[in-house]
Amino acid sequence: MTYQDKKIYLYHRASIRNYRIRCPDRIVKFSGGVARGIDRPIRRMTIMLKSLRALADPTRLRIMALLERDELSVHELQQISRLGQSRISTHLGLLQEAGLVHSRREGKRTFYRLNPLADSMAREFFPLAIRAARELPEYEADQLNLKRILALRHDQAKLLFDQVAGRFDRRYGPGRSWQAVGQLLLRVLPPLVIADLGSGEGLISELLARRARKVIAVDNSEKIVVFGAAKARKNGLKNLEFRLGDLEAPPIEPASVDLVILSQALHHARNPARAIASSHGILRAGGQIMILDLLQHSFAQARELYGDTWQGFAEGDLHRWLEAAGFKKIEISVVAREEQPPHFQTVLAAGEK
């Protein structure tokens, strides 16, 4: 190597040691001839791939759409989506690992929300994920259930009742039973005109008639109507009237009743939405509908064993039908769970005209 070549070589070594290349997409520092630093295009590509991988599953898209509205716990996500706890937790973990979801602890519960501190590249995927979630068949039901869960969260009286109900029969107490409490609550019932649609032989109708101004029991079986009417006469219940008719077109004058009850009857209807709409028609302004029925289940034998037309109902479907019929102040919640298989759950839905 000539003297001139050696001089040029040493000059370039000194330049490389301290020189920094700057451009909008790259910052690289050379030290001792080795490039060290972060390559921005590669970093952006990594974030993009992680986000796409995390959002490649429809369930995770559903969760993203729910967390856009408000922070939610795993239990609340369960109630909304009807998915298992472990499945939801797994998906939340993957979203959190990708930096799309943030969590915080509050007592024994953990709440999740879309990550407000996510990388700007990751945040670009938020609206895309929401848009994709809207194309999923579960989206509408998820949003209705989300609305219901958020309303329940703010309903402190409902939360207190659930806590009391959960403790009620945990310990034995002489004379303490749901039958006795039911009689107590019946005494505070105002004198209403009540329609018991799909009444069967009228067990609920008989109880209500002891306090109501009038009860109209409607059933589509002529034998049951004859039996129920005879029993009402025998018990001296002059304000209990049985009528032969269908849930979807009850033989009751429009705007003539204060309360419509559908107790374990809606799953026998051919068209539940039409039955709910008909209930709205016979209610006075300010009147209420109360539906007690099975939560959607997978016990297929119910059709043969009990003659059920529907295998219960999803809360989202009930909410949608009530809303479409014109009901306001809709409340839907699971009020009972059977301990024995097939573990039927009872859902209570209410609305006001």
49-94 pLDDT, tens digit each:
888 888 889 999 999 999 998 899 999 999 899 899 999 999 999 9
Q: Domain ends where: 137, 154, 171?
A: 154
In terms of domains, do 150 and 68 share one?
A: yes
In terms of domains, do 303 and 260 share one?
A: yes
Specify the CATH number for the domain of residue 195: 3.40.50.150
Asked whether the predicted pLDDT for residue 7 surpasses 70, the reply is: no
Query: Quick check: is 345 in a domain?
Result: yes
In terms of domains, do 211 and 329 share one?
A: yes
The pair phi, psi for residue 130, each rounded to 5°, is: -65, -40
Selection from 319, 345, 321, 344 nearest residue 331 by Cα: 319
In terms of domains, do 197 and 122 share one?
A: no
Spatial contact of 54 and 94, defined as CB atoms under 8 Å apart: yes
In terms of domains, do 306 and 348 share one?
A: yes
- Calculate the average pLDDT of the chain: 83
Query: Quick check: is 265 in a domain?
Result: yes
CA distance 198 to 278: 13
Q: Which two tokens stand for residue 179?
A: 């039958």
In terms of domains, do 224 and 345 share one?
A: yes
Query: Quick check: is 244 in a domain?
Result: yes
DSSP readout, 143-202?
A: HHHHHHHHHHHH-HHHHHHHHHHHHHTTS--TT--HHHHHHHHHHT----EEEEET-TT-
Specify the CATH number for the domain of residue 56: 1.10.10.10
User: DSSP character for 241?
Assistant: E
Total domains in the fold of the chain = 3
19-37 b/e with 16+ CB inside 10 Å = b? Answer: eeeeeeeeeeebeeeeeee
C-alpha count within 13 angstroms, C-beta hemisphere, residue 303: 6
In terms of domains, do 210 and 301 share one?
A: yes
Q: Which two tokens stand for residue 162?
A: 């659930």
Is the bond preceding residue 58 a cis peptide, omega within 30 degrees?
A: no
Domain of 332, in residue numbers = 183-352
Which residue(s) pair with 257 in the sheet? 283
Tell me how long the chain is: 353
Q: Domain ends where: 154, 172, 206?
A: 154
In terms of domains, do 8 and 147 share one?
A: no
CA distance 281 to 336: 29
Asked whether the predicted pLDDT for residue 35 surpasses 50, the reply is: no
- Beta strands at 72-73 and 101-106: parallel, antiparallel or unpaired: unpaired
CA distance 33 to 12: 10
pLDDT of residue 63: 95
pLDDT of residue 4: 52
CA distance 245 to 235: 23
In terms of domains, do 97 and 13 share one?
A: no
Cβ-Cβ contacts under 8 Å for 108 (sequence gap 6 or more): none
Spatial contact of 334 and 284, defined as CB atoms under 8 Å apart: no
In terms of domains, do 259 and 345 share one?
A: yes
- Beta strands at 26-31 and 20-23: parallel, antiparallel or unpaired: antiparallel
pLDDT of residue 18: 43
123-181 pLDDT, tens digit each:
888 898 899 999 999 999 999 899 888 887 766 555 556 665 656 666 556 766 777 77
In terms of domains, do 125 and 207 share one?
A: no
**What type of residue is 6?**
K
Q: Which two tokens stand for residue 220?
A: 């589509």
Spatial contact of 255 and 278, defined as CB atoms under 8 Å apart: no
- Over pLDDT 90: what percentage of the chain? 53
CA distance 219 to 199: 6
Task: Give pTM, 2 decimals.
Answer: 0.62
Query: Quick check: is 166 in a domain?
Result: no
